[in-house]
Structure 1
Amino acid sequence: MLAAEVAEVLAPTRPPVPVPGRDDALELRHTGPLADVLRLRTAVAAFVHLHFDVPRPRSLTSGDHLARIVDAVYASLRAGGSSSFRFEAAGSDSAVFLRLADLIREATGLQHDDRDGQLVIRVRRGAARRGPERSGAARGAGAPDPGWDVLVRVGPRPLSARTWRAADYPGAVNATIAAAMVRLGGVTASDRVLNLMCGSGTLLVERLLTGPTEAAVGVDNAPEALTAAAANLDAAALTRRVTLVEADALATDADLTGAPFDVVYADPPWGTLHGSHATAADVHGGLLRAAHRVTKEGGTLVVLTHEITVMERCLREADALWTPRETVRVFAKGHHPRIYVLGKRSPA
């Protein structure tokens, strides 16, 4: 999904490739303005990647090596300003890193804040050493040293930390996952969009920032959630494009302005901060029925849920209502929820 967005937003001459030794990162050569990278919505963070053929971090404090790091810091500052920096590295409090911090501070004017620094500089072993640690003997005599990588984050905070999030709400979906849900559901200017159990409005904001809609409605039965959603929509300058409704999203008599809808999103509670596992079956089954009532023929339902077993059972029971189109497993703070993309079945 990220690779597809990179192709659309950055138009690289070569497609991105997986970073050796990692399953959560892509690498590409970007020749355009670095600020364009900040437009990515499914990326958690972006870094300028430098590789140094040196045996130890001490070498980074000298000559051309230091100049390359300083240039990367300035590139990040031009894309999105920062006032301070910090290291993310093993031994970041050592004399070597304190010396490197002093040199970067002298060259850039940025303050070194080892706890809350805005611009992050990661220092780690090169790709050949990623994965299980191997001794020099295990690598074999004469094997090349993998060197060291320095990664300078683009911007003062992760891309996933949206500037529009004026109000936090317990259990709010991660914005990058919400952006992925939007892409999976498809984006068309004529869409009528509904967000059931909308919480603080993350899915609504991400959908509207991706592209226009004919109508957008958010429904939640918690006044505090709708207050948070209103604040976030206002911060994103989207208030006039969304109707918020206080109602039970699963109620058969809920008055949902704008029905039928082309695309419906939902992120049902799963028990840690809202709801409970004991009621998960009722919630998921009710969600599938409620969404079916207000979705147009051939429309799409996109659901993010941690209750995988419950969701699979409810889908089997609702086989006459929805056709599974795609299932995507994601990672979210130690959990592995799934995104279900469903199509409304036509009457037999």
Structure 2
Amino acid sequence: MLDGSPTPVPGREDALDVAHWGPLEAVLDLRTAVAAFLVLHFDVPRPKSLTSGDHLQRIVDAMYASLRVGSSSSFRFEAAGSDSAVFGRLADLLAEATGLRYDEAAGELVLRVRRGVRPGPSGDPGWDVLVRVGSRPLSARRWRVADYPGAVNATIAAAMVRLGEVHPQDRVLNLMCGSGTLLVERLTAGPAAEAVGADVADDALSASSENLGAAALDARLVRADCAGPALVEAVGTGWDLLLADPPWGTLHGSHATNAEVHAGMLWAAHDAAAPGARFVVLTHEVKVMERCLRDADALWRVRSTTRVFAKGHHPRIYVLDRT
């Protein structure tokens, strides 16, 4: 259970502090968090002090707590100076206490060491040690058995689903479905009257089929161009919730053609959508999307935009209502 509301971490736009009590396993059910960490604060002037008895034991206890919800055989640091003698000594002590192997490049259990984010009683911020809960990021879904270049992050997909709302009577259409991430996250969030994924690429549809199967979910997959009139010919009309992650022009498509793709997608989605339908779109081509939306203002009304972080990029999630 969460104790109170999440609070922003000073200086970190991508992190929230959340008080938690109860089984730590419940943290693994968070759908829109990339990772969760146990946060330990130490009122010490430098990381060398972390090797002392009481401080070291707190870190060991947190590592064991993480191991109880996700087994790991190795650990690593994510910290400035992690190759120093101080961190080498800390690694040796933690390995001896936990029996885990220290693997500086590929350790499964992640420990972040950073300066504290809030000044302590002495005015010095001290140091924080963050121990990741589980051996994998929360965004690394177990159903993902087929990778696909440019696939949307599962936590962002879950946020898109939440923003688009989940209603069991919805007919759901995923345009440019890729490896099926949006379909899986939508059907995981709740039942739908019907769910269809459409993509022009056969390898994408194969990846979607594999991931849907691994998640034990059922959706119809259709080969169709999602930026033209062929979409309606392939999937029909009357869709209540539409989801799309159009190509950003890096791994798929090109920047030169993305304006045409986004404009065609908005028109095709409008033709396929039911009156009052919601359309949730993730795109890094923000200027292109804004221009296309101005040109298509008779088709879609912008309900909200949300800036997110994805692999060094800051794409936006657009929630649109069919006019």
Bin of the TM-score, shorter chain as denominator length: over 0.9
Question: In the aligned structure 1, how far is the partner of 2:236 from the partner of 2:66?
Answer: 44
Contact 1:192-1:258 within 8 A present in 2 as well: no
Letter in 2 for 1:244: L
The offset of 1:258, in angstroms, is 6.5
Q: Say whether residues 1:206 and 2:196 are aligned partners.
A: no
Q: Say whether residues 1:252 and 2:229 are aligned partners.
A: yes
Partner of 1:144 in structure 2? 123
- Which stretch of structure 1 is more off in the superposition, 187-196 or 86-95? 86-95
Q: Say whether residues 1:304 and 2:282 are aligned partners.
A: yes
Contact 1:216-1:242 within 8 A present in 2 as well: yes
Of residues 299, 310, 316 in structure 2, which corresponds to 1:338?
316
Partner of 2:253 in structure 1? 275
Q: List per-residue Cα deviations over 1:258-313 (Å, max 9, x = no partner).
A: 74111000111121111122222221111111111111111101111122222112
Contact 1:308-1:338 within 8 A present in 2 as well: yes
Partner of 1:125 in structure 2? 115
Partner of 1:326 in structure 2? 304
Q: List per-residue Cα deviations over 1:43-93 (Å, max 9, x = no partner).
A: 111100000111222221122111111110011011111111011122222
User: Cα distance 1:60–1:260, how it changes in 2: closer, same or farther (>3 A)?
Assistant: same
Helix, strand or coil: the match of 1:82?
coil
- Correspondence 1:197-236 to 2 at 5 A: 197-236=176-215
Partner of 1:167 in structure 2? 146
Of residues 19, 24, 38 in structure 1, which corresponds to 2:9?
19
Structure 2: tracts of 5 or more residues without a match: none
The offset of 1:198, in angstroms, is 0.6
Question: In the aligned structure 2, how far is the partner of 1:311 from the partner of 1:117?
Answer: 40
Total equivalences in the alignment: 321
Deviating 4+ runs (over 4 angstroms): none
Letter in 2 for 1:320: A
TM-score (norm 2): 0.95
Partner of 1:182 in structure 2? 161
User: Cα distance 1:143–1:66, how it changes in 2: closer, same or farther (>3 A)?
Assistant: closer
Q: Say whether residues 1:313 and 2:291 are aligned partners.
A: yes
Contact 2:6-2:17 within 8 A present in 1 as well: yes
Helix, strand or coil: the match of 1:269?
coil
Contact 2:37-2:130 within 8 A present in 1 as well: yes
Partner of 1:194 in structure 2? 173
Partner of 2:43 in structure 1? 53
Q: List per-residue Cα deviations over 1:95-117 (Å, max 9, x = no partner).
A: 22222212212221111111100
- Point out the structure with the larger strand share: 2
Contact 2:236-2:272 within 8 A present in 1 as well: no
Letter in 2 for 1:98: G
Helix, strand or coil: the match of 1:79?
coil
Contact 1:169-1:200 within 8 A present in 2 as well: yes
Helix, strand or coil: the match of 1:152?
strand
Partner of 1:261 in structure 2? 239
Helix, strand or coil: the match of 1:45?
coil
Question: In the aligned structure 1, how far is the partner of 2:65 from the partner of 2:86?
Answer: 24
- Which stretch of structure 1 is more off in the superposition, 77-86 or 269-278? 269-278
Structure 1: tracts of 5 or more residues without a match: 1-9, 130-141
TM-score (norm 1): 0.88
The offset of 1:257, in angstroms, is 4.1
